[in-house]
Copies of this chain bind each other. A is one copy, B any other.
Amino acid sequence: MEETKDFQPTCPMPFKQYPKILLSHGGGGTLMHQLIEDMFLASFGNSIINARDDAAVLEGLSSRIAYTTDSYVVQPIFFPGGDIGSLAVNGTVNDLAMSGARPLFLTAGFILEEGLDMEVLWRVVKSMTRAAKKAGVSIVAGDTKVVDKGKGDGIYINTSGIGFIEHDQRISPRMVQNGDVLILSGDIGRHGIAVMAIREGLEFESDIKSDCAPLVHMVADMIAGGIELHCMRDLTRGGLAGALNEIAENSQKAIHIDQCSIPVQDDVSAACEMLGFDPLYVANEGKFIAFVPEKDARHAVNILKQHPQGREASIIGEVKDRDKGIVTMKTRIGTTRIVGMLSGEQLPRIC
């Protein structure tokens, strides 16, 4: 697995003395100080966070920025293709990318459960460091809280992020137009099924890996390539169906997709069938949908196909001038059905 290639197997020395997280690691005293200095700053270190101020001071900003936050509570902490650390970086980076911003700065807030293995925290921090480097962002501020044993689940992470918007496009559900073409950046359903498989101890014929990855480079290339982007959304909780329903509602447009054009890996498809899931609703962590005018659709797909994560990019539907706020799908057998929003969730704690 790529994630483990440069994996440092052991914590640095100061932590040998405390192999588990104690309440004192969040108490504002010397143990917390040591954790911040020798784990977080030693890993995330950059000139901004190293200043150790209450707030990071950012200079020379563009006048238009994107700003977002997400908390991550995925269970288990490590899963095929990623972990809570890479997820916490990529998830927030991707939310910024979806507004057409270049992600630049992240904050990281840790809620640790008393008794957590220091080694686990170390692996997560290293994974965040690698993911941040890959996405081109710096972690510039952070916070650590420790809660009593039984009041958490090992580790929860919140990240917030800031990105610069360096173009004049307005990218939002409100910009969706009749006739827009929907481009899906790749196959769906891998993240949710990868997490579910390991959680339930299910054995599939092949190892399904999460698609957890930063989308920022694909988006940057589309913007640089002159693609007119009306709306983008990454396909996390609620999956493709959830994202399309939100866009349909917020834009008050009718979205129509074609099931045959939506790529799903065979093993993901088989796992979904076995578990009774519809891949349309399963979460992804490295896939997005883009609404572009028809004139740009082919060009956009070609740009995406040049990226490893975009090789299966395809046109999957269009925006129609009829039943507003509704998502419809032409099924494999040729019928048309409404794709609604699920009331509950298929898979709890997958991000």
Q: Which residues of A contact B (CB under 8 A)?
A: 22-24, 26-33, 51-73, 94-96, 98-99, 101, 105, 107-111, 140-143, 145-148, 150-153, 156, 158, 160-163, 165, 172-174, 233-234, 236-239, 242, 246, 250, 283, 341-346, 348-349, 351
Taking a contact as CB atoms under 8 Å apart, the answer to whether B67 and A55 are in contact is yes
Taking a contact as CB atoms under 8 Å apart, the answer to whether A56 and B67 are in contact is yes
A13–B163 alpha-carbon span in the complex (Å): 38
Taking a contact as CB atoms under 8 Å apart, the answer to whether A28 and B238 are in contact is yes
Taking a contact as CB atoms under 8 Å apart, the answer to whether B56 and A68 are in contact is yes
Which of B68, B107, B111, B283 meets A68, CB within 8 Å? B107
Q: Closest Cβ of chain B: how far from A291's Cβ, in Å?
A: 13
- Determine the main DSSP class of A at the interface with B: mixed
Q: Which residue of B lies closest to A22 (CB)?
A: B344
Taking a contact as CB atoms under 8 Å apart, the answer to whether B109 and A54 are in contact is no
Which of B29, B246, B346 meets A238, CB within 8 Å? B29
Knowing A153-B151, A238-B28 are in contact, say whether A53-B173 is a contact too (CB < 8 A).
yes
Q: Which residue of B lies closest to A164 (CB)?
A: B61
* New A-B contacts (18) at CB < 8 Å, excluding given A28-B239, A28-B283, A72-B145: A27-B342, A28-B237, A28-B238, A29-B341, A30-B341, A32-B345, A33-B246, A52-B250, A53-B99, A53-B173, A55-B67, A55-B98, A58-B67, A68-B107, A73-B145, A109-B160, A111-B111, A143-B158
Knowing A69-B108, A73-B111, A145-B73 are in contact, say whether A95-B54 is a contact too (CB < 8 A).
yes
Q: Closest Cβ of chain B: how far from A242's Cβ, in Å?
A: 5
Specify which chain B residues have a CB less than 8 angstroms from the CB of A150 in the assembled complex. 150
Q: Closest Cβ of chain B: how far from A73's Cβ, in Å?
A: 5
Most buried by B among A22, A55, A70, A242: A55
A29–B53 alpha-carbon span in the complex (Å): 39
Taking a contact as CB atoms under 8 Å apart, the answer to whether B68 and A141 are in contact is yes
Q: Closest Cβ of chain B: how far from A212's Cβ, in Å?
A: 17
Which of B55, B69, B105, B236 meets A158, CB within 8 Å? B69
A109–B63 alpha-carbon span in the complex (Å): 25
Taking a contact as CB atoms under 8 Å apart, the answer to whether B162 and A153 are in contact is no
